[in-house]
Amino acid sequence: MGYSSSEQILTLSKSENILEDILEKWRRGSTGPLPQLIPLQLLNALVLVEREGPVGRRALSETLRLNDGVVRGLLERLAASKMALVTVKGVQLSKMGKESLRKLLRQLSIKKIISIDQSDLVSANSVMGVHVTKLYRPGMTGIVQRDEAIKAGAEGSITVAVLGKKLVIPPDNKSIAELAPKEYARLRNELGPTDKDLIIIGFGKDPGRALAGALAAVLSLQKA
């Protein structure tokens, strides 16, 4: 059974495993066997294409650290579902694709993704920040998120919690304003977080790994 539009493919369930739902629908589609992909790789690919597009297949393959065949299969499905446009300049999300990605990010409580340059909070080649809303839980340590970020290829992650008007790092709630005043000002100004929000900061050797780490950390929050 095939799917004629991205709206059908991206019918988001209420389950925690939204991305796996999407992949499963693709597996049952008429295009043929789906190359091996995990939910994190799909999410990372969609975000990267939206942020960088039009982007060439080879560049996307290198950034995602996936072989060319897997990326080709992914792009074929994105194009067939009308989520992406593939031209001589590369691939970019279509209007449908951008709308579908926005819906997916809302389901994951992701409000905004930013690139962080010259941070005084963390020293790394590339740093990415993901703002998620109302996912702070008492007792959080950020260790699970850090471990998932490292598994995804990043050097690590930092979980920043918004408690009242303060930005702190669990579990001992060290103040970002005191540790890194420049980063505190940037996160406040660019993201405008409110009470019980989280900012997941992923860092690594390049933007692709930093983003993958931050997104992996965010996905781990969905399992909590």
* Residue 192, SS3 per DSSP: coil
- Percentage of residues in the chain having pLDDT higher than 90: 58
Taking only Cα atoms into account, the Rg of the chain, rounded to an integer number of angstroms, comes to 18
User: Which distant-in-sequence residues (6+ apart) come within 8 Å of 114 by Cβ?
Assistant: 128, 129, 131, 190, 191
Domain 6-106 has CATH 1.10.10.10: yes
**Do the Cβ atoms of 202 and 130 come closer than 8 Å?**
yes
- pLDDT tens per residue, range 32-43: 556 677 888 888
Pairwise CA distance, residues 169 & 187, whole Å: 13
**Comparing C-alpha atoms, which of 84, 60, 93, 50 is closest to residue 208?**
60
- pLDDT tens per residue, range 97-147: 898 899 889 989 999 999 999 999 998 999 999 999 999 999 999 999 999
- pTM for the model: 0.85
Q: What is the mean pLDDT of residues 3-11?
A: 39
Pairwise CA distance, residues 158 & 143, whole Å: 9
Domain 109-222 has CATH 3.30.1360.30: yes
- According to CATH, where is 1.10.10.10 located in the chain? 6-106
- pLDDT tens per residue, range 210-219: 999 999 999 9
Token code pair at residue 65: 């650290």
Pairwise CA distance, residues 83 & 131, whole Å: 24
- According to CATH, where is 3.30.1360.30 located in the chain? 109-222
H or E stretch at 90: strand 90-93
Q: What is the mean pLDDT of residues 187-211?
A: 96
